[in-house]
Amino acid sequence: MKKLVQAFVSLIIATSTFGGVTNVAAKENTPAYKVEYQDADSMKSVFKKELHKKYANVEFKKKTKNVSVYESKNYKVKVKDLDIDTIGKQTISIEGENKQTSEKHSAEVKVKVQDTTAPEITCEDVLTVEQNEVFDINSYVSLNEEGTIQLTDNINTADVGTFTTTIKAKDTAGNVSEKNITVHVEKSFYQRIADAALAQIGVYQDCTMLVTNSLAAVGIHFHGAPTAYLSLGTLTNNPVPGDICVYQGHVALYVGNNQAVHGGWLGNQTVLTSVACGQPFIGYVHVNR
């Protein structure tokens, strides 16, 4: 339930006493107490003013039909006709009882149920997305109630880098909350494979180690014969940087523009050259994520 609002507007009342029970009736133009939407315990401020300050310690226990019951060790309050789930003005009846002495006080009061609590935003402080990925903040955020979400500064995923922005959430009552977040835009999964291959140019190693080390950059740990790399994805006729070039007896890493990084070249060196080489080409493998 939402936090209570203990705002009080002075009340003009008329009182009468019958058989040890004090009754209070609200006049027509009496201003209303303000209580919080969906927070039954926000009524405690009304009990304190209308009954006695000792009634401020009662807690909501149950609601049966149109009667809400509040209790503490020594006091009990019954509230008739309160609908805490409906925003607006209401006229209700309250009856407080001292459970030790059986002394009772009752009153008819006006309340205004209102929503003044901003929505709670749940989202990680730091988000990581890939370059050129469609970034929808709604996929990362949840609210504790119905509302809308927007960013003060949109994130352009075309650019790699670290960006800050603010989430603004507004509920149906117009209450607004904010949360600052950081968004890391990093190179794509496949581009990171290609970059890892390019970083190895000049290293002395065979072709399989070149590809194995490149895949390790994205958490894929695999090593085998050249054709074994066919098992890591699907064959494609439209390669992108980061795809594997598989040949009979050789394997390389495609980096774009019909070029590939090859290991085991010119005396076991790692070099950047064309995709074409002396071994028969089998195909490009688009690695499974």
Instruction: Choose between 23 and 149: higher pLDDT.
Output: 149
d(CA 52, CA 96): 9
Query: At 287, is the pLDDT very low, low, confident or very high (cuts 50, 70, 90)?
Result: very high
Among residues 246, 212, 243, which one has the least CA distance to residue 226?
246
| Distance from C-alpha of 35 to C-alpha of 110, rounded to nearest angstrom | 10
Dist. CA 107–CA 23, nearest whole Å: 5
What does the pLDDT read at residue 27? 54
**Per-residue pLDDT, 35:** 96
Confidence check: pLDDT of 230 > 80: yes
Question: Which position has the token pair 């085998």?
Answer: 224
Please name each of the domains of the chain with its CATH number.
13-114 (no CATH), 121-186 (2.60.40.10), 189-287 (3.90.1720.10)
- Tell me the pLDDT band of 216, cut-offs 50, 70 and 90: very high
Mean pLDDT over 168-182 rounds to 97
Tell me the mean pLDDT in the region 171-197.
96
Q: Which tens digit of pLDDT belongs to each residue from 54-70?
A: 998 999 999 999 999 99
pLDDT > 60? residue 19: no
Percent of the chain with pLDDT over 70: 90
Nearest residue to 167 via CA among 98, 109, 100, 119? 119
Dihedral sign, Cα of residue 72, residue 77, residue 81, residue 82: negative
Q: Please give the pLDDT value at position 260.
A: 98
Contact 51, 33 (CB under 8 A): no
Tell me the backbone φ, ψ of residue 58, rounded to 5 degrees: -70, 155
Q: CA-to-CA distance for 285 and 238, rounded, in angstroms?
A: 10
Q: What's the Cα-to-Cα distance from 91 to each of 1, 83, 165, rounded to whole Å?
A: 22, 10, 45
pTM of the model: 0.67
